[in-house]
């Protein structure tokens, strides 16, 4: 038994343009693509075996191994169902009719453009299969703004009962804090050494003034060179004493 695939799209009444479009992408694009990748024939809300349609749709948003969402005409029902799927954080492939653009909130997710031309149908099938292959290689390749927000929240430390509990990614922040602290300490030590450099280095600060730079380019160049040399001497001195670290 293959993996399950569920389609969310505007369906419309029989013989309407919406129904004809929904049937076309199902039979000629989605079905051949997913069945060739060992998925079951894609299901849809109007299938005769569906009873409580809305209950089934919501359940499928959490349970289906793959959801293919057709964003054509930005149908509000599709957007609502897709939002649930995004919260479920499970593999989803977006389609949209050629010439249209996804809603702003979905603009960050790549959509496969589809129409009734042979060239586009062929390419759409191959694109869907490529996405499915990517899903197979990485079971969690799909991200939306919902996922990103959740992951960012995991970086926060949550206080529960007076005890700080750390989410999985928080230790990374702790390491970054340690690195930052060490860098600050090293910079403080370096500043202290620079303060010991002869007063001629102070010339460098005056040289930053635009009017001075314009009329004293040679002096400015020499000051920069002298400053660099003094820093090099400080470093070599500390290295010779075994104080310098990688």
Same-domain check for residues 146 and 185: no
Looking at residue 49, its pLDDT comes to 72
pLDDT (average), residues 105-109: 77
Same-domain check for residues 18 and 122: yes
Looking at residue 61, its pLDDT comes to 94
Q: The tokens of 88 are what?
A: 């479920």
Same-domain check for residues 131 and 207: no
Is 228 a member of any domain? yes
The SS3 assignment for 141 reads: coil
Is 21 a member of any domain? yes
pTM assigned to the model: 0.61
Number of domains in the chain: 2
CATH of the domain at 43: 3.40.50.450
Is 158 a member of any domain? no
Q: Which band of pLDDT confidence, cut at 50, 70 and 90, is reported for residue 82?
A: very high
User: Is the pLDDT higher at 42 or at 157?
Assistant: 42
Q: The tokens of 46 are what?
A: 């109007």
Looking at residue 194, its pLDDT comes to 53
Same-domain check for residues 177 and 126: no
Domain limits at 211?
Answer: 168-240
Looking at residue 139, its pLDDT comes to 62
Q: CA torsion 10→14→15→21, rounded to 10°? A: 30
Same-domain check for residues 9 and 81: yes
Q: Are the CB atoms for 65 and 39 separated by under 8 Å?
A: yes
Res 73 pLDDT > 60: yes
Same-domain check for residues 45 and 138: yes
Mean pLDDT of the chain: 75
User: Is the pLDDT higher at 169 or at 138?
Assistant: 138
Same-domain check for residues 178 and 214: yes
Looking at residue 212, its pLDDT comes to 46
Same-domain check for residues 89 and 208: no
Give the tens place of pLDDT for each residue, 197-245: 544 455 554 444 444 444 555 555 565 556 556 666 665 665 555 554 4
Give the tens place of pLDDT for each residue, 154-175: 655 454 444 445 455 455 555 5
Which of 56-60, 141-145, 178-182, 184-188 shows the highest mean pLDDT? Answer: 56-60
Looking at residue 162, its pLDDT comes to 46
Is 159 a member of any domain? no
The Cα 62–Cα 105 span in angstroms is 21
Q: Are the CB atoms for 64 and 6 separated by under 8 Å?
A: yes
Report CA Rg, the chain.
31
The Cα 106–Cα 62 span in angstroms is 19
Res 34 pLDDT > 70: yes
User: Is the pLDDT higher at 32 or at 99?
Assistant: 32
Looking at residue 190, its pLDDT comes to 60
Residues 6+ apart with CB under 8 A from 75: 9, 10
Q: The tokens of 114 are what?
A: 């589809």
Is 162 a member of any domain? no
Residue that is last in its domain, among 92, 125, 152: 152
Q: The tokens of 74 are what?
A: 């930005």
Residue that is last in its domain, among 97, 121, 152: 152
Query: Which residue from 61, 83, 51 is spatially nearest to 4, judged by alpha carbons?
Result: 61
Same-domain check for residues 85 and 19: yes
Lowest mean pLDDT among 22-31, 39-48, 67-76: 39-48
N-terminal to C-terminal alpha carbon distance within the chain: 57
Tell me, rounded to whole angstroms, the distance of Cα 73 from its chain centroid. Answer: 26
pLDDT (average), residues 115-135: 93
The Cα 113–Cα 133 span in angstroms is 18
């Amino acid at each position: 038994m293959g993996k399950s695939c569920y389609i969310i799209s505007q369906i419309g009444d029989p013989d309407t343009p919406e129904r004809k479009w929904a049937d076309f992408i199902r039979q000629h694009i989605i079905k051949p693509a997913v069945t060739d990748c060992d998925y079951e024939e894609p299901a849809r809300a109007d299938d005769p075996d569906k009873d409580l349609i809305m209950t089934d749709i919501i359940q499928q948003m959490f349970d289906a191994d793959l959801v293919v969402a057709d964003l054509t005409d930005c149908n509000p029902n599709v957007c609502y169902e897709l939002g649930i799927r995004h919260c479920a954080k499970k593999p989803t492939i977006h389609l949209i009719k050629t010439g249209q653009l996804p809603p702003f909130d979905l603009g960050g997710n790549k959509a496969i453009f589809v129409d009734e031309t042979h060239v586009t149908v062929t390419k759409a099938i191959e694109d869907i299969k490529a996405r499915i292959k990517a899903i197979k290689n990485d079971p969690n390749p799909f991200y939306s703004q919902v996922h990103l927000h959740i992951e960012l929240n995991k970086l926060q430390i949550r206080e529960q009962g007076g005890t700080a509990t750390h989410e999985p990614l928080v230790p990374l922040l702790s390491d970054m804090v340690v690195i930052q602290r060490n860098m600050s300490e090293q910079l403080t030590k370096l500043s202290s050494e620079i303060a010991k450099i002869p007063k001629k280095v102070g010339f460098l600060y005056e040289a930053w003034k635009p009017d001075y730079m314009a009329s004293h380019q040679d002096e400015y160049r020499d000051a920069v060179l002298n400053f660099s040399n003094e820093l090099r001497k400080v470093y070599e001195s500390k290295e010779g004493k075994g104080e310098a670290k990688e």
